[in-house]
Amino acid sequence: FADSQGADRFHLVARDWGGMVAWALATAHPERLRSLTVLSTPHPAALRRAAATDDGQFHDLGYIRFFRRGVGKAEKYLLRDEAAQLRAVYSGRIPVEIVERSVARLSEPGALTATLNWYRGATDDDFDIPAGRITVPTLYVWGREDPYLGQSAAELTVHHIDAEYRFQILEGASQWMAMEAPDEVIALLLDHLGRH
């Protein structure tokens, strides 16, 4: 995409699975990035280490093991009873109209399967990013109320950065921080992007 837009170097901002992709891109092609910002998702190697050493983090990632049990089972579970479990993922943190749009999209044939295939396609080895480390200015923002990605993984991320690094914890925010605390997230982004 960047090539098609004529962008030799660019700022990369990502969250959730996009964060996993961003960490990998920053490792493989640091020359393309002016800076990296990741919301919620810790460095994959930090997450793997936390899951191996922190029983709470291992437990919190149980949903991934459930999603990997094959096509159909997780989809049926999440969509049954008018998608009650899918709505519960948002934990009352997201405006209802956004939840309803997301549920409607994910209820379309094949949409939820495509989403869950990110989990199914990733192996444990995918959490071992190649030996290279992050060498671009990096902002990592983690929400203290994130129910899936814990503090130990967030704090271990620093061990994978060999560049200017800022780790920011947002109190009262979860993985949905961009909607829960948009002013704080935007201020952090503008500051980081403005310096790089």
**Domain boundaries defined on the chain:** 10-58+127-194, 61-121
Report, as an integer, the average pLDDT of 99-123: 91
Quote the CA–CA distance of 49 and 28 in Å, as a whole number.
21
Which stretches of 151-196 are assigned E, i.e. beta strand? 165-170
How many CA atoms are closer than 13 Å to the CA of 154, on its beta-carbon side?
24
Report, as an integer, the average pLDDT of 69-94: 87
Report, as an integer, the average pLDDT of 134-144: 98
* Predicted local confidence at residue 81, as pLDDT: 95
Question: CB within 8 A of 98, min separation 6: which ones?
Answer: 179
Structure tokens at 98: 């956004």
Position 71 confidence tier, pLDDT thresholds 50, 70, 90: confident
Per-residue pLDDT at 5 exceeds 80: yes
Terminal CA-CA length for the chain = 21
CA 126 vs CA 119, 130, 177, 188: distances in Å: 11, 9, 25, 29
CA 103 vs CA 86, 89, 111, 153: distances in Å: 7, 11, 10, 29
Q: How does DSSP classify residue 131? A: S
- Counted residue by residue, the chain has a size of 196
* Predicted local confidence at residue 66, as pLDDT: 87
Per-residue pLDDT at 50 exceeds 60: yes
Q: Which residue has the higher pLDDT, 108 or 127?
A: 108
* Predicted local confidence at residue 131, as pLDDT: 46
Position 24 confidence tier, pLDDT thresholds 50, 70, 90: very high
Per-residue pLDDT at 53 exceeds 70: yes
Cα 23–Cα 103–Cα 183 angle in degrees, nearest 5: 55
* Predicted local confidence at residue 26, as pLDDT: 96
CATH architecture of 10-58+127-194: 3-Layer(aba) Sandwich (3.40)
CA 181 vs CA 83, 107, 138, 172, 185: distances in Å: 26, 27, 20, 9, 6
High-pLDDT (> 70) share of the chain, % = 94
